[in-house]
Structure 1
Amino acid sequence: MENLLELENYFYQNYTKRQKNNIDEYDIPEWPKPLSDKIYSGIIGEVVDFLSNYTEAGKEALLLNFITLFGNYVGKKAWLEVGGDKHYPNLFTILVGSSSTGRKGSSWNIVKKLWSLIDEHFILNNVKNGASSGEGIVYHVRDEILKWDSKKGEYVVVDPGVKDKRMLIFEPEFAEVLRVMKRDGNTLSALLRNAWDGNEVLETLTKNNPVRATFPHISIIGHITFEELKKELTQIEKFNGFANRFLWVCTRRGELLPNPPLLPQEELGKLAQKIKEECLENMPQGLIIKDKEAEGMWAELYKELITERENMEGDTVALINRGEAHILRLSLIYALLDRSSVIKTSHIESAKEIWEYCENSVKFIFGGMSNKYASFEEKILEALREKGPLSQSEIIKLFDNRLNAKQLEKILKKLSERKLITSDTIPTVGRPKKVWKLYN
């Protein structure tokens, strides 16, 4: 036993030594870079810029709420095809942020207010929450239910069903949905996977009360904290295709507004009317295809995505390996917002950048975070203020090499989340070196 302990200690010491020697090669993810201005062109830019004046919610959160809601509102009127499969503009979007500073709820509330002026009936009747079972979801978009009437000798309608098959599931406590899915026999995971796929039929196979929904169009907006997500998302859901149907979006407070101005209803109404006139009226319907330039761009991007994923391993791959489909759906939404009957290169470029933000969110979230290193954080900030940009090995030396790579990762990621530091690369004779500096 003593020899075994000595052997374990030997390997641990050598592993720690290798970590110290190679700390600059250890890739610590930072908070995803903000989306560029080109993402906010056209009507999307007008919406996000206007709403940002009246909320502390981040721009990315406002954007994703808006396009997810828009995609659900469109329904199955427009689609694109890949290998015979139809992709509709329904997105599953989860905003992930700290409970007190993420401003997840604020981002949804203000977008909902805008959309209420576009179509209040839709907001009141098509937005649902409390998803706890597959049966419950199907019920809200159910077909009419017939039962045999032995006296009349015919089937009679006992439930008229739901004519409008669009449903936006809003879950401010998405952690509860993940907890519910762990129960034996719960059908929620499988049904949501089928709903994202755009299956023509969703149904429950319960013996006594079978329910069926044809041509449903289901989208999701959910909110969850970093800690809850990592705790409640099981390995099964990571690898069975459930998690990679979602856009995971890191979100945090935007501008500080201690005394936010009142949302001007007249201006909000004008913006709602503009969305109606410039996006929703005479919107293209049916099959949306890529133009020739977009086809060429997509061919190169597709190869790039596949190659990049082949060089990755672990949980991250499982969570992002549906990137091609997400980019195409986002491209479709951008085309529809432009009232374009074809997907153009600009639409793919915007979709690609949004996806990269979501992909980087996944890398940031599932790399681990911690709040246990407050004193270390302050020392790093102080050193950056005094000395300027520092490499990861130089930061380690601030603590006499008492930190290992994993601990350093947690500290730097937390500082990055709080907009206190950012990373940069500087050229060297060999491989470029990553350094960390104060956030401008």
Structure 2
Amino acid sequence: MPNQRSTETVQRNLLKGAENGTFNITEIRLSSEATFRTDVEKWMSENAGVSAQTVRGADFYQLFQEWSKKVPKSHEKTIEEAVEEEVRVESQGHERTVEEELDDLPYSTAIEGPKGRPLLDKKAWHGIAGEILEYVSPDTEADPAGILATLLSTFSCMVGHDRIVHGPVKQRVNVWTILIGETGEGRKGTATDRALEVLHRVGDSFFKNNTTTSLSSGEGLIYSVRDGMDEEEIARREENGQKVDYGVDDKRLLVMSTEFATIMQKTHGSTLGPVMRDAWDGKTLNIHSMDAEVATDPHITIVGHVTGQEFADRQKTAEMAGGTWNRFSPIFVHRPHEIPWPEDPDDWEQRLEDFAMRLRDAAYKAGRGDDPVVWSKEAQLMYRREIYREYANTSNDNEVMKQFTTRRLPNLVRVAGTYALMDGRDVVSLEDLEAAKAFVDYSIASARFVLGEFMSGTSGRAVMKAEERDAQDKEILARALQQAGEEGLTRTFIQQKTLKYRRKKDEISGFIADLGAVVVKRGSGGRPTEFVVHPDFAPMDNA
């Protein structure tokens, strides 16, 4: 996905060059976007102090369109001649070098993605997390939302159990996420890998000792962070030469599963679901059975990867009763662009080390203290004026979506606290809160989109807001009327066949008026039949 900041940087340098005479548009090949890009990249490398990575991230299609309009009239013929010259040279048997052909190929090509997919607000690109996204996103097919989710979740796990955010509600710094994308297109693994390239440098020992890729049962999860035997039992066993279990000192555990659908299936009717819910709350974990392990002060974070269908299949009424999945922030991911041959910038290693050093310092500072993370006055003001009423209103949501929208506030508090601690602060700033809201809002939009796409029948429509359902039905009606052409459709047909009894007669009349459709009466003798005709096919006397 082209980077807006990169585009603005390149544009600013080109305008400055045009002003001081170092950049002359008449010397740039405008026969194609590829030749324009090649010449501009060459000029930028020779005349502007901008990294090659920043230049590569610019939207050259947009720049090409804008600069093509700036060509003097006297030069337009020269452009046409340049194109003819290229064709003439090739037709004369000139063999282009491999380097020339490679230079003409675009480094990346933007992909539109599924219709109606949610978009992550740039406010979420905040602090060091935002800096990392700005740096790594132009050179990977991973969705920035997936990279960000992995960064937030993993850092929140590194922090440990003792940091609590004192906002409108008290929450531990612990962010659970599910990356949702289709196999091959979602690039879920690519997003995680890109984030881990930075995070492994923060603390490689953490990934060796505090991570797992699977969960089998509640008992198994507790065992991973279990307490040791009490002192008396240890002394007795040591005296008798028996095996001693000293337990696990570091109660941090990062579960990063690329086959999370398997884990989701295991939670139904087992001890795993209840233990996961207690783990999200930071409670002591205990199955209450003979010889069962106990885990006090656990700090377990989960990052899962699933497809849209796998996620939707678990959101049935029976599955939702325990409220396991609404503790996660669902994050839709889809590759933003194609990069056939990704290249790391020249300063890749140095920049990643710089990011890692800052995150390492922040994680150490956050993990060694237990003071609460508090909110600034500015953040409190924004929450009380704007966010509170918005998040309190779930009237347009059905029972499926309410499972997620009612969890917005605790997730907002957790994410805001994570943003603050990542930047080495114990106070949630206004910018932290805005970033957290952008992330949480994206997760809700992801849930709506995925469930609307993959839940069958009316369940999928039910996750939409009322205005979204209206817009969808209007679009369905408009399409049906266009297909019917001059013949049109009767109101009965529209109600029964087109909209499948979802709408009352007065609602259908409202849709007809909104679309500007025309009602035509037909029939000789008796009561005429009304036909609704799309405005493009309306008779002249009704137009």
| Same fold? TM cut 0.5 | yes
Query: Cα offset for 1:188?
Result: 0.7
Cα distance 1:227–1:404, how it changes in 2: closer, same or farther (>3 A)? farther
Asked if 1:317 is matched to 2:402, the reply is yes
Q: Quick one: which of 235, 244, 249 aligns to 1:158?
A: 244
Asked if 1:218 is matched to 2:323, the reply is no
Asked if 1:38 is matched to 2:38, the reply is no
1:167 maps to 253
* 2:358 partner letter: K
Asked if 1:88 is matched to 2:177, the reply is no
Give the whole-Å Cα distance in 2 for the aligned partners of 1:151 and 1:224. 45
* 1:321 partner letter: T
Give the whole-Å Cα distance in 2 for the aligned partners of 1:123 and 1:148. 29
Asked if 1:122 is matched to 2:206, the reply is yes
Give the whole-Å Cα distance in 2 for the aligned partners of 1:80 and 1:327. 10
Q: Quick one: which of 233, 243, 263 aligns to 1:177?
A: 263
The percentage of counterpart residues that share the same residue type is: 27
Deviations for 1:14-39, whole angstroms, at most 9, x for unmatched residues? xxxxxxxxxxxxxxx96344223232
Cα distance 1:143–1:157, how it changes in 2: closer, same or farther (>3 A)? farther
TM-score by length of 1: 0.73
2:105 maps to none
Cα distance 1:155–1:194, how it changes in 2: closer, same or farther (>3 A)? farther
- Is the contact made by 2:187 and 2:333 (CA closer than 8 Å) also made in structure 1? yes
* 1:223 partner letter: H
Bigger Rg, structure 1 or 2: 2
* 1:253 partner letter: R
Alignment of 1:39-438 (within 5 A): 39-81=124-166, 86-146=170-230, 147=233, 158-182=244-268, 184=269, 186-199=270-283, 201-207=284-290, 209-262=291-344, 264-277=348-361, 279-280=362-363, 282-283=365-366, 285-369=370-454, 393-400=477-484, 404=498
SS in 2 for 1:309: coil
Cα distance 1:304–1:431, how it changes in 2: closer, same or farther (>3 A)? farther
Query: Cα offset for 1:150?
Result: 6.6
Give the whole-Å Cα distance in 1 for the aligned partners of 2:260 and 2:322. 18
Aligned length: 360
Give the whole-Å Cα distance in 1 for the aligned partners of 2:373 and 2:194. 30
Query: Cα offset for 1:239?
Result: 3.2
Give the whole-Å Cα distance in 2 for the aligned partners of 1:337 and 1:152. 43
Query: Cα offset for 1:41?
Result: 2.8
Query: Cα offset for 1:369?
Result: 4.0
- Is the contact made by 1:149 and 1:155 (CA closer than 8 Å) also made in structure 2? no
Give the whole-Å Cα distance in 1 for the aligned partners of 2:241 and 2:127. 52
- Is the contact made by 1:239 and 1:318 (CA closer than 8 Å) also made in structure 2? no
Deviations for 1:31-62, whole angstroms, at most 9, x for unmatched residues? 34422323213311221122223321101010
- Is the contact made by 1:31 and 1:361 (CA closer than 8 Å) also made in structure 2? no
Give the whole-Å Cα distance in 1 for the aligned partners of 2:155 and 2:329. 15
Give the whole-Å Cα distance in 2 for the aligned partners of 1:312 and 1:152. 59
Give the whole-Å Cα distance in 2 for the aligned partners of 1:152 and 1:285. 34
Query: Cα offset for 1:311?
Result: 3.7
Deviations for 1:347-366, whole angstroms, at most 9, x for unmatched residues? 11111111111111111111
- Is the contact made by 2:203 and 2:360 (CA closer than 8 Å) also made in structure 1? no
* 1:265 partner letter: E
Give unpaired runs (5+ residues) of structure 1: 1-28, 372-389, 407-429, 434-440
Query: Cα offset for 1:326?
Result: 0.7
Cα distance 1:99–1:252, how it changes in 2: closer, same or farther (>3 A)? same
Cα distance 1:151–1:239, how it changes in 2: closer, same or farther (>3 A)? closer
Tell me which protein shows more strand as a share of its residues.
1
Cα distance 1:320–1:228, how it changes in 2: closer, same or farther (>3 A)? same
Deviations for 1:264-310, whole angstroms, at most 9, x for unmatched residues? 43442233223334x33544751111122222222234532354213
Cα distance 1:46–1:149, how it changes in 2: closer, same or farther (>3 A)? closer
Tell me which protein shows more helix as a share of its residues.
2
SS in 1 for 2:174: coil
TM-score by length of 2: 0.60
Cα distance 1:133–1:405, how it changes in 2: closer, same or farther (>3 A)? farther
- Is the contact made by 2:391 and 2:408 (CA closer than 8 Å) also made in structure 1? no
Give the whole-Å Cα distance in 2 for the aligned partners of 1:127 and 1:179. 21
* 1:203 partner letter: N
- Is the contact made by 2:118 and 2:449 (CA closer than 8 Å) also made in structure 1? no
- Is the contact made by 1:148 and 1:156 (CA closer than 8 Å) also made in structure 2? no
Query: Cα offset for 1:148?
Result: 7.3
SS in 2 for 1:365: helix
Give the whole-Å Cα distance in 1 for the aligned partners of 2:157 and 2:195. 14
Deviations for 1:214-244, whole angstroms, at most 9, x for unmatched residues? 1111111000001112224442232322121
- Is the contact made by 2:382 and 2:430 (CA closer than 8 Å) also made in structure 1? yes
* 1:109 partner letter: D
Query: Cα offset for 1:213?
Result: 0.9
SS in 1 for 2:160: helix
Give the whole-Å Cα distance in 2 for the aligned partners of 1:242 and 1:270. 37
* 2:299 partner letter: H
Give the whole-Å Cα distance in 1 for the aligned partners of 2:406 and 2:238. 54
